[in-house]
Homo-oligomer: A and B are copies of this chain.
Amino acid sequence: MTFEPLKGIKILDLTAVVVGPVATWRLGQYGAEIIKVENPSGDLMRGLGGLSPTGQHSGAYLHLNRGKRNICLDLKKQGGREICQKLVEWSDVIVANMRPDALERLGLDAQTIRTKYPEKIYCLITGYGTDGPYSGLPTYDSVLQGASGIAGLTMARDGKPVYVPMLICDHVVGEITAGAVMAALMQRHKTGQGASLEIPMFETMAAFVLQEHLAQQSFEPSVGPAGDLRLLSPHNKPVKTKDGYISFTINTDVQVKAFLKITDRTELLNDERFLTVATRAKFVSEWFEIRGAALENKTTDEWLEIFRKVDLPAMPCHTLETLTNDPHLKAVGLINFENHPTEGKTAVIRSTIQVDGEYPSAYSSAAPCGWDTKEILHDLGYSDAEMESLINENATFQFKTEQ
């Protein structure tokens, strides 16, 4: 099936690494037409996300750059900048995650573009908002995990800070950015006017953390410390079984009773500390200690069966190895394989959003750097002679299989 609400929307993708590519990938999932501009040295993520058969398409690069055509431009060259201006003209939306000063130098900043084209949507992802002391500073995911308090949360819980072993800030802000672009497109539909969006990653992730963890400091006077104490309990963790770990949650009073019964702790059934959400919140440490006690007398599978019989939410605690072999993921076909032009047989992670009973079909695979250069230049109206001249002066590059 097709679900292409953004069909006909043209997106100029001036992004690299993760946060921008996630945003445009998601817009591509909804049918937008995307041209990714890549510099001749290539998106850093091609090499950073692990090995690939050619070394040019790490798994992460592949999965986050599906559905985009690729043009390779050297923006240090006049010819490259001219082509990029034609792409600006072509586009409905420009998404960038370069640093603001670099964009200004290239004439690719919001003000320059929207003065000329007020109907265009310009979306800039920055590390830090334009109006505070960190404005203009460079950033990366782990720096943001530190700055936004995510690593600090693990310090509060475990005594020392660690990062979530994922590019969680990049990935989250990318999704939020895709939403903001769609909102601006809807606005434009009504008013004919574009918009200049700026999404500062630090503030966005700080807000994301504080929505959950400002907690008792949300009030003045405060009613207690910041932090959701349930989530910060060291006992809130996957629980050891005879052969592995199990993940479960127990929130409602009914679930608490069921849990105490199946784990043979019926003496606690009438313990006033654990009778209601409110009392368990007060005795959160005691309650989580009971909840987090090991269940080593049975295997994970045995426990899962028992939990499910009483309708308690529980799942195995998967490793990457067991995750890809999960029977549910296999049954729903989350991962398929296709033939990539340079990497051979490669995995496709499909959209997980079901529309009218079906999953929209997958889009084209992530392209090598400069794969579509000539085709795009042709679409922009360049003659063969102009194209060759631009290629000869190294303003633009066409990927060659023999390269």
Question: CA of A249 to CA of B223 in the docked complex: distance in angstroms?
Answer: 37
In the complex, the answer to whether A226 meets B186 with C-beta atoms within 8 Å is no
Digit string of A145-165 for contact with B (CB within 8 Å is 1, else 0)?
Answer: 111111111111110111111
Q: Is A313 among interface residues, defined by CB-CB distance under 8 A? A: yes
Q: Is A60 among interface residues, defined by CB-CB distance under 8 A? A: yes
Q: Is A75 among interface residues, defined by CB-CB distance under 8 A? A: no
Q: Is A248 among interface residues, defined by CB-CB distance under 8 A? A: yes
Q: Is A3 among interface residues, defined by CB-CB distance under 8 A? A: yes
- The closest CB in chain B to the CB of A249 belongs to B140
Q: Which residues of B contact A153 (CB under 8 A)?
A: 164-166, 320
Which parts of A202-258 form the interface with B (CB within 8 Å)?
202-204, 206-220, 223-232, 236-238, 245-249, 251-252
Q: Which residues of B contact A143 (CB under 8 A)?
A: 247-249, 313-315
Q: Is A77 among interface residues, defined by CB-CB distance under 8 A? A: no
Question: CA of A148 to CA of B322 in the docked complex: distance in angstroms?
Answer: 10
Question: CA of A63 to CA of B208 in the docked complex: distance in angstroms?
Answer: 10
- The closest CB in chain B to the CB of A213 belongs to B320
In the complex, the answer to whether A131 meets B332 with C-beta atoms within 8 Å is yes
Query: Could you tell me the distance in whole angstroms from the C-beta of A234 to the nearest C-beta in chain B?
Result: 8
Known: A163-B237, A182-B179, A232-B165. A347 touches B219 (CB 8 A): yes
Q: Which residues of B contact A208 (CB under 8 A)?
A: 171
Digit string of A48-61 for contact with B (CB within 8 Å is 1, else 0)?
Answer: 11111101001110
- The closest CB in chain B to the CB of A350 belongs to B207
In the complex, the answer to whether B186 meets A182 with C-beta atoms within 8 Å is yes
Q: Which residues of B contact A247 (CB under 8 A)?
A: 142-143, 145-147, 151
Q: Is A185 among interface residues, defined by CB-CB distance under 8 A? A: yes
The answer, among B48, B146, B179, B211, for a CB contact under 8 Å with A315, is B146
Question: CA of A171 to CA of B26 in the docked complex: distance in angstroms?
Answer: 17
Question: CA of A278 to CA of B48 in the docked complex: distance in angstroms?
Answer: 8
The answer, among B52, B156, B214, B312, for a CB contact under 8 Å with A219, is B52
Query: Could you tell me the distance in whole angstroms from the C-beta of A347 to the nearest C-beta in chain B?
Result: 4
Which parts of A311-338 form the interface with B (CB within 8 Å)?
311-324, 326-329, 331-332, 334-335, 337
- The closest CB in chain B to the CB of A322 belongs to B152
In the complex, the answer to whether A183 meets B140 with C-beta atoms within 8 Å is no
Known: A165-B232, A199-B352, A223-B53. A132 touches B216 (CB 8 A): no
- The closest CB in chain B to the CB of A60 belongs to B212
In the complex, the answer to whether A146 meets B313 with C-beta atoms within 8 Å is no
Q: Is the interface of A mostly helix, strand, loop or mixed?
A: mixed
Q: Is A134 among interface residues, defined by CB-CB distance under 8 A? A: yes
Binds B, one of A265-273, A354-362, A369-377, A385-393: A354-362
Question: CA of A47 to CA of B276 in the docked complex: distance in angstroms?
Answer: 10
Digit string of A170-206 for contact with B (CB within 8 Å is 1, else 0)?
Answer: 0110011011101111110110000111111011101
Digit string of A341-353 for contact with B (CB within 8 Å is 1, else 0)?
Answer: 0011111011011
Q: Which residues of B contact A287 (CB under 8 A)?
A: none
In the complex, the answer to whether A44 meets B311 with C-beta atoms within 8 Å is no
Q: Which residues of B contact A317 (CB under 8 A)?
A: 146-147, 151-152, 155, 161
In the complex, the answer to whether B3 meets A210 with C-beta atoms within 8 Å is no
- The closest CB in chain B to the CB of A176 belongs to B175
The answer, among B44, B139, B185, B212, for a CB contact under 8 Å with A49, is B212
Known: A186-B5, A228-B50. A211 touches B158 (CB 8 A): no
Given pairs A206-B326, A219-B345, 17 additional interface contacts (CB within 8 A): A50-B224, A59-B215, A129-B352, A130-B354, A134-B328, A138-B312, A142-B236, A143-B313, A157-B165, A165-B232, A166-B212, A171-B208, A197-B355, A203-B334, A213-B320, A217-B347, A220-B344
